[in-house]
Structures are given as C-alpha cells and as structure tokens.
Amino acid sequence: MLKRKDMLGLIDTSAEEIDEILTLAAAMKAKLRAGEKKFDDLAGKTCTVLFYENSTRTRTSFEQAAKYLGATTVNIAAATSSVAKGETLVDTGKTLDAQRNDFIVMRHPMGGAPYLLAKTVKASVLNAGDGMNEHPSQALLDMLTMREEFGTLRGLKVAILGDIKHSRVAKSNLFGLKKMGAEVTMFAPETLIPKDVDKLGAKLCVSREEALDGADVVMGLRIQLERQQAGNFPSLGEYAAFYGVDEKTLGYAKPNAIVLHPGPVNRGVELTSGVIDHERSRIEEQVLSGVAVRMALMKLLNEYRERNC
C-alpha cells in the first residue's frame, strides 16, 4: 500500500512502492489495451493539471488517466492564468485547495517547486517534471515498458545517451532503476554529464560502443536547447555524428534490445529516424504505458487519501 499523499520523486520511493505501482499499472494497461476506458475509482474527485512549461504527452496523459478513472479534470496553462499576473505558487495552491481539488498535477521549470506546493496544499501533488530535478511518472512508465518486455528489471543493462545534464528523466530513471536492481550506463559529451552522477550509481562510459555493449535498453534523451547556453557541443550535426545513435551503433546492443525515448524526439539528432522507427523501438508503447502508470499512481494515492486525509 502506498503510504504517501504525493508523488514527487523516485529518490525517496522504495523498491516495494515502485513494484506496487508497476504491478497495478500493468493490469491497467492490459485493460486499456482491451479497449476499457471507463472506471469509477476516482468518481466524484477533481484533478487540476497545472503546467508552467510546454508539454504534449505528459499533460494529455495525466488528463486522460484522471478522466478514465472517472475524475473531473481542469487544465490550467500558466500563461493564461493569474500566474501571469504575478500570483505566487503558494497562493495558486491555496486557491486550488479552497476549490476542493483532490489532485494537482504540476510541471514547473524550477526544481523543487512541487515539493513546496505539496507542503502547502491538502490535495495530492503529482510532479510532472520539475526543472532539471525529477520526472517520476516518466521513469515509472519507462520501467513498466522495460518490465513488460523482459519480465523483470533486475539485471537489465540500461544505456542512457543524450542530454543527461539537463534531464529530469535521466535522474528519475537512475534512482528507480538502481533500486530495482538494473545497471545504468551513460554516455554524452562531458559538458552534458551532471557532476557526480557516477556517485549516484551510474557507470560513465567513454564511447557509444562501451555504453551500448550488451545493453538491453537504449534510451535516447532530447538535447534540451531551452535549458542550456550555447557551447556545450559544437553543433547539432556534430553531436549527431559523434554521440547520436544510428542503426550501426544500435548493433552494439543486444540483438533483442529495445529503444526508448521520452519524447519529444529531435529526429536525426539523438536518434536517427531509422532507430526511432526501428522494429525494436518501443517509443509508441511508452505512450500507453504512460496513461496506465498515471492511472495506477492516482488510484493508489487516492486509496491513501481515503484512509488518511
């Protein structure tokens, strides 16, 4: 049983909790696959989706998950809300609480923002990405996709390549995968590797060949131009040539390795189109995993709320 009001990061989520979320998400996914979309676990509940950053799949996926579970959903884009008039995050949170919201799904450019919100509201807060910190539901959907493919996460070798420094997806995956017994290797230009990430358990590699050698999972990450100054690497073309994954470099991984990417993909930069559309690519599968994981998270948090809040 999840014993928490909020889901903010995998750094403090246990292996048992991750296992519980993934097991329920797998069952939810099987139902979605069978065409079932109408559940009543969150009937009578409200969920506000509050995004201070752009998004396509994460925002729609949370909204669909809440709707499929029977909740009423409200969508706030920060650019069109009172935030644009200077309202603080805490005041926005108080307003949403006064409206008796049960869930607030938030994406924010500042690392730690959802932690602040969670402390000040009665609603359950789900972190949909906070700056360069964490993106727990993305890592959970990645882990669900891997677990469905290979049956277990224990012993899997996961190679993460791309803009690791600016990626909350890489950090949440590292925390989660290590707890579940997987090995994580990373490769990127030195300027795109966060300081001390090896101390968190990642194995840093000096080449694509080394990172992909024997990998079960090859995860590409987007070069996040919006979060970096120019100068981390000479040009996108050179990045693609020396650090990107094409069909030849994919050959260093195991023959049954799968390709993942959280999206949006810069086609031809971190992955070539041949790799994105490869028969080993599970990028579209990740999207369905995303709806299922978010349904599982909200259902489990709601069960906690019903018992304790």
Q: How many residues does the chain have?
A: 309
Q: How many CB atoms lie within 10 A of CB 235?
A: 9
Question: Catalytic annotation on 294?
Answer: no
Question: Catalytic annotation on 57?
Answer: yes
Question: Catalytic annotation on 58?
Answer: yes
User: What's the distance, Cα to Cα, between the start and end of the chain in Å?
Assistant: 15
Nearer residue to ligand NCD within complex by CB, 222 or 299 = 222
DSSP letters, 214-232, are T-SEEEEE---GGGS-TTS
293: left (phi over 0), alpha (psi -120 to 50) or beta: alpha
In the region spanning residues 169 to 198, those forming contacts with ligand NCD, defined by CB under 6 A, are 169
In the region spanning residues 250 to 269, those forming contacts with ligand NCD, defined by CB under 6 A, are 262-263
CB of 155 to ligand NCD, least distance (A): 26
CB of 13 to ligand NCD, least distance (A): 18
Q: How far apart are CA 291 and CA 61, in angstroms?
A: 5
Q: How far apart are CA 244 and CA 189, in angstroms?
A: 11
Question: How many residues sit close enough to ligand NCD to count as binding (CB under 6 A)?
Answer: 11
Q: How far apart are CA 244 and CA 186, in angstroms?
A: 13
CB of 88 to ligand NCD, least distance (A): 23
CB of 139 to ligand NCD, least distance (A): 10
| Contacting residue, 29, 168, 208, 282, with ligand NCD by CB under 6 A | 168
Question: Are the beta carbons of 113 and 190 closer than 8 angstroms?
Answer: no
CB of 168 to ligand NCD, least distance (A): 5
In the region spanning residues 125 to 154, those forming contacts with ligand NCD, defined by CB under 6 A, are 129, 135, 138
Q: Which two tokens stand for residue 219?
A: 């995860």
In the region spanning residues 45 to 104, those forming contacts with ligand NCD, defined by CB under 6 A, are 57-58
Question: Are the beta carbons of 197 and 204 closer than 8 angstroms?
Answer: yes
Q: Which two tokens stand for residue 212?
A: 């992909």
| Cα of 148 vs its chain's centroid, Å | 17
Q: Which two tokens stand for residue 265?
A: 């993909």
Nearer residue to ligand NCD within complex by CB, 46 or 289 = 289
- Is residue 294 a contact point for ligand NCD (CB under 6 A)? no
Q: Which amino acid is at 53?
A: E
Nearer residue to ligand NCD within complex by CB, 45 or 171 = 171
Q: How far apart are CA 187 and CA 269, in angstroms?
A: 15
Question: Catalytic annotation on 108?
Answer: no
Q: Name the catalytic one among 4, 5, 31, 57.
A: 57
Nearer residue to ligand NCD within complex by CB, 177 or 252 = 177
Question: Catalytic annotation on 107?
Answer: yes
Q: Which two tokens stand for residue 237?
A: 């073309």
- For ligand NCD, what does the binding mask look like between residues 216 and 245, x meaning CB under 6 A? ------x-x---------------------
> In the complex, which residue's CB is closest to ligand NCD?
222
Residues with a catalytic annotation lie at: 57-58, 85, 107, 135
Binding site for ligand NCD (CB under 6 A): 57-58, 129, 135, 138, 168-169, 222, 224, 262-263
